[in-house]
Homo-oligomer: A and B are copies of this chain.
Amino acid sequence: MAIDETDRKLLAELQLDATQSYAALGQVVGMSAGATHERVRKLKAAGVIRRTAVEVDPAAVGQGVLAFVMLDADAWMGDEPTLRALAEIPAVQEAHIIAGPASVLVKVRTATTEDLQTTLRALHKVDGVTSTQTIVVLESCFERPPAVM
């Protein structure tokens, strides 16, 4: 889909606050509410907007500990069963196949460091994983939406 400057502005606004009315959104880009609605509808239909969701404070829901774990493997980990095994660990929020020394990088959130340990044990049990290297986050300085270019 072709994204123009108006779409970018809409996306930037909607990443900050998706609750505002189409009339207010229209103000920002200088269009009517109806036309704005149509733009956003198309962005959703095209998959540019994947979904609209609330952003929850992790600490408030028992996820105060954040860590990144690099997984080394003795085989290719990009296959379905392996990824499903990772997805079945609830603490695992993201999984990325990476270039470089390790094979997979996962982002993990838990309530306590003890739960983190439990998660690491679970990661070790995943087929193909030979070792893990954990980076514990002391403080998240900021997490923000992608700058729409």
Contacts and interface: CB of A to CB of B under 8 A. Distances in A.
Contacts of A61: 3, 8, 11, 48, 146, 148-149
Number of copies: 2
Contacts of A144: 87, 93-94
Contacts of A83: 141-142
B63 A146 contact: yes
Interface in A48-70: 48-58, 60-63, 66, 68, 70
A23 interface: no
Contacts of A45: none
A78 to B, nearest CB: 7
Interface residues of A, number: 64
Interface stretch (A30-38, A97-105, A122-130): A97-105
A135 interface: yes
Interface string A3-22: 10000100100111111000
A113 to B, nearest CB: 11
A61 B145 CA distance: 12
Interface of A: 1, 3, 8, 11, 14-19, 46-58, 60-63, 66, 68, 70, 78, 83, 86-87, 90-91, 93-100, 102, 104-105, 109, 111, 135-149
